Structure 1
Amino acid sequence: MLYSRTGAGIPEYRSISPARTFAMIQRYTYLLRSSWPRVLELIYWPTVQMLMWGFLQLYLNEQSGFIAGAGSVFIGSVLLWDILFRGQLGFSISFLEEMWARNIGNLMMTPLRPAEFIAALMGMSVIRLAIGLVPVTAMAYAFFSFNLWSLGLVLVAFFANLILTSWAIGIAVSGLVLRQGLGAETLAWSLTFLLLPLTCVYYPVAVLPEWLQTIAWMLPPTYVFEGMRAVLIDGVFRADLMIWALGLNAVLITGASVLFVALFNASRSAGSLLALGE
């Protein structure tokens, strides 16, 4: 038997199927392919940000020498920030599309398990991120001679930690929207921006007041952006920062997953999966 039935008459599946996860990724991929505006949006905003900050950096370099030696810190910050923001948005948008279509209840009546659903959303966030990131990094090289891919294995460490943080935020937000309804969907668009000043994307942690530095060091992306500046300015890879970020991400992913399961079970017990709305 693949599953047993709970007292509520809802099947509880005991095994996780990669095939079901892949089927969900295929579903979202077909949806993305069928709409060129969706694909264009994935490239449009990262391009605008990269060009804006890139030209600003060129202007500052011409006007003064206060950032001499800083290399392409602004452009690197923009591209790494997009990994965090677009990774979370790619996760949340796929989830919200099911909410907008009022299809969550239908999915949960299939053999699909919540863990498989989350895994599919993770996979889709990487696909959506790649669609936007690859052409934008090519333009960064063409316009500003900044090659993000030249970082090699360092980029892998940066990417892994940022995408894990984005997934943790996406999982937590999805759980809240699942329990509270579409009235909470604003969190999917705005919550990550709360991290923008706290994770020191464009400036070092030392700029913050001492009490705020403590909060900043509790957030995994802070270690990534500090590590990026160490690489681009000092030419040093801080492995210790990446290890700290990985440990904090493990805590965040675990906590977000527990929260999602708790909110999912609460929503199922309340019978609200089929009546999700504002």
Structure 2
Amino acid sequence: MSIARIKGLLLRYYYCYSRSTFRILDIVFWPVMDLLVWGFLTMYMLKVNGSVPGVFTFLIGSVIMWNVLYRAQQAVSVSFLEDVWSRNFINIFVAPVRTFEFVAATCISGLLQSVCVSLIMIPLAYWFYQYNFGMLGYCMIPFFINLLLMGWTIGLVTTAVIIRWGHQAEALAWAIPFLIQPICCVFYPVDVLPAWLRAISLCVPATYVFEGMRTVLKGGSFAAKDLAMSVVLNIIYALLAALLFEYLFNEARKNGKLTKMNT
């Protein structure tokens, strides 16, 4: 692994985003719109009911935390797609860039995007709704890390699928996160799910994060065993995703699919 090559890829991503206003807007616009829509919905409930039940107070925090996962996933999969669309993908791997270095650069890009989006959404949440994200305390750190890791994992799987099935699968880069969102229990507790779906939900690392967030906001403490389960699941899925990506990438390289994607 070469740190210099990873830095080179990160520098390329920096130039791509810094020189395109529309790319910056794409990163910032949708998270802010989510925050405004869900936030004003909460304010509407306040006016209608006279008080906001506890469940509604979780919505803004859930929106902020969900965008951590979503941005991490988008950075991995969409960065790959942008190289494909610009017909630059083959050029990257003609250079002495290893697969791990490419993935590492996209993951670091996801980390930076998630941090930037969070730093925008948290002050806006306080400005518009007097929502103090600091209520989560130190728990926000393991929550952030687990959602970030799950976002990277989903991004790797998405990219692997696109490599395998080509341009026809590109829409999955945006579809897969929202496909799994219902079983992540982002906006509601896991108890509302049917028993069979609850069992699936408990196999998703993000479920434990959002359940833990609601517990902390209610004044409780996040159970260490739930945090441990989230970490273990994330590690298992990340390893499986890395193996899947490596296998499908090598297969595509052997049968010429990588070259076809560049045309």
Give the TM interval when normalised to the shorter protein.
over 0.9
1:249 aligns with 2:234: yes
Structure 1, gaps ≥5 residues long:
1-15
Matches within 5 A, 1:29-178: 29-64=14-49, 67-70=52-55, 72-178=57-163
Contact 1:21 1:119 in 2 (8 A): yes
What does residue 235 of structure 1 align with?
A: 220
Q: Distance in 2 between matches of 1:238 and 1:51?
A: 31
Instruction: State the Cα deviation string for residues 50-96 of structure 1 (Å, max 9, x = none).
Output: 11111111221232268434573110011111111122112211111
| Alignment counterpart, residue 224 of structure 1, candidates 209, 212, 221 | 209
Count of aligned residue pairs for this structure pair? 263
Residue deviations 1:237-259, cap 9 Å, x none?
22221111110000110010000
Structure 2: where are the runs of 5+ without partners? none
Following TM superposition, where does structure 1 have runs of at least 4 consecutive aligned residues deviating by more than 4 angstroms? none
Matched, 1:261 2:243: no
Q: 1:29 to 1:152 in 2, by over 3 A?
A: farther
Whether contact under 8 Å (2:42, 2:56) holds in the other structure is: no
- Change in Cα spacing, 1:189 to 1:70, as seen in structure 2 (3 Å) is closer
**The residue matched to 2:146 in structure 1 has which SS?**
helix
Point out the structure with the larger helix share.
Answer: 2
TM-score (norm 1): 0.90
Whether the 8 Å CA contact 1:43–1:133 is kept in 2: the answer is no
Query: Secondary structure of the equivalent of 2:218?
Result: helix
* 160-169 vs 237-246, which moves further: 237-246
| SS at structure 1 position matched to 2:261 | coil
SS in 1 for 2:187: coil
| Alignment pair present for 1:181 and 2:166 | yes
Q: Give, as a single letter, the amino acid of the residue that structure 1 aligns with 2:158.
A: V
Q: Which string of whole-angstrom CA distances, capped at 9 and with x for unpartnered residues, describes residues 139-191 of structure 1? A: 10111111224534211111111011110010111112123212111110100
- Identical aligned residues as a percent: 39
1:181 partner letter: G
Larger Rg: 1
User: Which residue does the alignment assign to 1:3?
Assistant: none
State how far apart, in whole Å, the 1-side matches of 2:247 and 2:168 are.
Answer: 19
**Structure 1 vs Structure 2 CA RMSD:** 1.7
